[in-house]
Structure 1
Amino acid sequence: MRNRLALITGGTRGIGRATSLRLAQDGWDLVLGYARDEHAATATKSAAEALGVECSTVRADLTTDAGIDELFDAASSQMGRLDAVVNNVGATLQISGLAETPPQTIRRVIDLNLTSAILVARRAVQQLGSGGVLVNVSSGAATTGAPGEYVHYAAAKAGVDALTKGLAIEVAPRGIRVVGVAPGTVDTQVHADAGDPGRPERVARTHPMGRVGRPEEIASVIAFALSADAGYVTGTTIRAAGGV
C-alpha cells in the first residue's frame, strides 16, 4: 500500500515545517511549497526523508496562477494522487496601525493570505478525491481583529474562515472535508519578517497561559484534522490560540 500524500504550502518554515515533520512521522509522503528560502527547504526535505517518507520541494510564487499550477502539477506528476492539502502559506509583512500601513503592503497581504488561499483551495478540490481533506490555516486574528497591528491581515483571515465554511458544504457530497485551524501567536520567524522580532515575548506577558504557542502544537491540531479521528469534522475552524 502506498503512503498518503499531502501537499503543504509554506511547508518548510515555521508552522509549515512543524506540520511537515509531524506528518512525516505519521507516514505521509510530502510535496512542500516554498517561496525563497532554499536552505530551509533543503533542511526540511532532508529531515522528512530521514523519517522514511518521500518528500519533494517546489519553489513557487503562490500569488500567481502559474505558481499555483506549478506546485499542484508537480504534486500530481512526481508523487501521484493527492490525499490532503494544507493551505498554510501566509505573512503579516508589517506590524502597524491601518492608517500607517502603505496601500501596496495591504494589497500584498490580502493577495497572499486570502486570494492565494482561495485559488489554492480551488485547485485542491479539483484534485482531491473522496476521502480527501483540505486544511486552511487561518489565524486567531480573524476574530480579535488585531487592532494596532494588522487589521487588514485579520480581515483576510476572516475571509479564510468563510472559505472553510462555504467550501466544506459545497464539496461534502463529494466526500471531501474542509477544516480550518486558527493559531494564536506562535513563536516563528513571521514576527521578525514583519520587523518585530520581540513580539512573541511581549505578547506572552499578557497571554492567558503566560506563553505563546509552539509550531509543533499547531502541527498536532492540523494532523488531527487530517486524521480519521476527525472523520466527522468539516466546515469549522478549530481555534488553537491558548485562550485568546
Structure 2
Amino acid sequence: MKLGIIGCGNIASIISGFKLNCEVVALYDRHLEKAKKLEKAFGAKAYESFDDFIKQDFDTVLETASYEAVKTLSNKILEKGKNLIILSSGALMEDDFRNSLIDKAKEKNLFIRVPSGALFGVDNAKVLSFTNPKKVFIKSVKNPKEFGLKNEKKLVFKGKASECIKRFPKQTNVTVTISIVTNYNADVEIWADPEVEHNIHEVELEGVFGKCSIKIDNLPSEKNPKTSYLAALSVVALINEIDNNFIVGT
C-alpha cells in the first residue's frame, strides 16, 4: 500500500515513529511548515496544495487532520480513486454524508476505514448493529481546559451523539465511532472535572449478548495533552493489518 497523509500535526508525528507496512509517499497540511517537518521522518514529500498532493502516486489517503477536512475533502479523494482512512470519525455522524461516501466508494471499488481511535472493544460492539441494542451509553470526562471552562466539575453535555458532535466536533469523535459501529445514536454524557489530568471514557453496552462495561483511561501524547496516544496507536494498528491475510478481531 502506498499512503498519502492529510494532517501533519501530533497524530501524524506519533505515527512517524513506528514501522508501517506501507510506503508513505506524500504529505499535506494547510500549514506547509508542519508537513515539511515530517518529510524526513516519513521519507515523503510535502505539498503546498491539496490538488498537487492528490495527483501523486499513492492508493490510500490517511486523514489525521480535522472534522472540516473530512467534510470538504473526502469526496474529492474518492473521486480521484484513492481509498480513505478517516480518524476524525465525528464528521461521519450524518447519515446522508456517510452514505454518500459509502456509495462513492462502492462505485469506485474503494474502501473506507475508521480506526478505533481512543476506544477499546469496538470489534465486538459491532454485534449490536444487527441485534437491536438495549443500551449504548458513553460518558467522557475531560479537564475543563478542553472546553475553555473554569476550574469546576460540571456536566457539559447530556443527550445524543448526533447533537454532541455538533457542539464539540474536536473533542467527541468517540461518541460517533461507537454510534456508527452499533448503528445506534448513543446516549452521551460529557463531564468537565479539574481533578482529571487526561481523558476518561466509560462505555456501557447492553443487548442480546448480555452487558458490557469498559473504562478507558487514556494517557495523552507527550507533545499535545489533548491528543490520546491510543488514538494514534489505533491508526498504526489498522494500517499494519489492512493488507494482512490473517486478522484476529474484526
TM-score normalized with structure 2 length: 0.49
Q: CA deviation at 1:87?
A: 2.6
Partner SS, residue 115 of structure 2: strand
Aligned residue pairs total 160
The residue that corresponds to 1:89 in the other structure is 65
Could you say if the C-alpha distance between residues 205 and 120 of structure 1 is closer, same or farther in structure 2, counting changes exceeding 3 Å? closer
2:78 to 114, 122, 125: 125
Q: Residues of 1 paired with 2:147 and 2:36: CA distance? A: 24
The residue that corresponds to 1:176 in the other structure is 110
Could you say if the C-alpha distance between residues 75 and 124 of structure 1 is closer, same or farther in structure 2, counting changes exceeding 3 Å? closer
Partner SS, residue 31 of structure 2: coil
Could you say if the C-alpha distance between residues 29 and 211 of structure 1 is closer, same or farther in structure 2, counting changes exceeding 3 Å? closer
User: 1:56 is matched by which residue type in structure 2?
Assistant: K
Q: CA deviation at 1:28?
A: 0.9
**Is the counterpart of residue 9 in structure 1 residue 30 in structure 2?**
no
Q: Residues of 2 paired with 1:42 and 1:199: CA distance? A: 37
The residue that corresponds to 1:18 in the other structure is 14
Q: Residues of 1 paired with 2:97 and 2:240: CA distance? A: 20
| Contact 1:9–1:87 (Cα < 8 Å) also in 2 | yes
1:63-142 residue pairs with structure 2 within 5 A?
A: 70-76=49-55, 80-90=56-66, 113-114=67-68, 116-128=69-81, 132-139=82-89, 142=90
Q: CA deviation at 1:124?
A: 0.9
Question: Which string of whole-angstrom CA distances, capped at 9 and with x for unpartnered residues, describes residues 127-174 of structure 1?
Answer: 12xxx52112234xx4xxxxxxxxxxxxx4523x76444422332243
User: 1:41 is matched by which residue type in structure 2?
Assistant: A
Could you say if the C-alpha distance between residues 75 and 194 of structure 1 is closer, same or farther in structure 2, counting changes exceeding 3 Å? farther
Q: CA RMSD in A?
A: 3.9
Could you say if the C-alpha distance between residues 230 and 162 of structure 1 is closer, same or farther in structure 2, counting changes exceeding 3 Å? farther
User: 1:117 is matched by which residue type in structure 2?
Assistant: V
| Contact 1:17–1:44 (Cα < 8 Å) also in 2 | yes
Question: Which string of whole-angstrom CA distances, capped at 9 and with x for unpartnered residues, describes residues 14-54 of structure 1?
Answer: 223334554x632413211123372x4333211122xxxxx
The residue that corresponds to 1:62 in the other structure is none
Question: Which string of whole-angstrom CA distances, capped at 9 and with x for unpartnered residues, describes residues 89-137 of structure 1?
Answer: 11xxxxxxxxxxxxxxxxxxxxxx24x4233112111212xxx521122
Could you say if the C-alpha distance between residues 178 and 211 of structure 1 is closer, same or farther in structure 2, counting changes exceeding 3 Å? closer
- Counting helix residues as a fraction of each chain, which structure ranks higher? 1
Q: Residues of 2 paired with 1:230 and 1:193: CA distance? A: 41
1:195-214 residue pairs with structure 2 within 5 A?
A: 201-204=197-200, 208-212=215-219, 213-214=228-229
Q: Residues of 1 paired with 2:24 and 2:104: CA distance? A: 27
The residue that corresponds to 2:25 in the other structure is 30
- Counting strand residues as a fraction of each chain, which structure ranks higher? 2
User: 2:118 is matched by which residue type in structure 1?
Assistant: G
Identical positions, percent: 12
Which of 1 and 2 has greater Rg? 2
Could you say if the C-alpha distance between residues 179 and 201 of structure 1 is closer, same or farther in structure 2, counting changes exceeding 3 Å? same
TM-score normalized with structure 1 length: 0.50
Q: CA deviation at 1:81?
A: 2.9
Partner SS, residue 197 of structure 2: helix
1:58 to 38, 47, 51: 47
Question: Which string of whole-angstrom CA distances, capped at 9 and with x for unpartnered residues, describes residues 173-213 of structure 1?
Answer: 4321112235238xxxxx989768x8972424978133344
Q: Residues of 1 paired with 2:145 and 2:47: CA distance? A: 24
The residue that corresponds to 1:46 in the other structure is 40
**Is the counterpart of residue 217 in structure 1 residue 233 in structure 2?**
yes
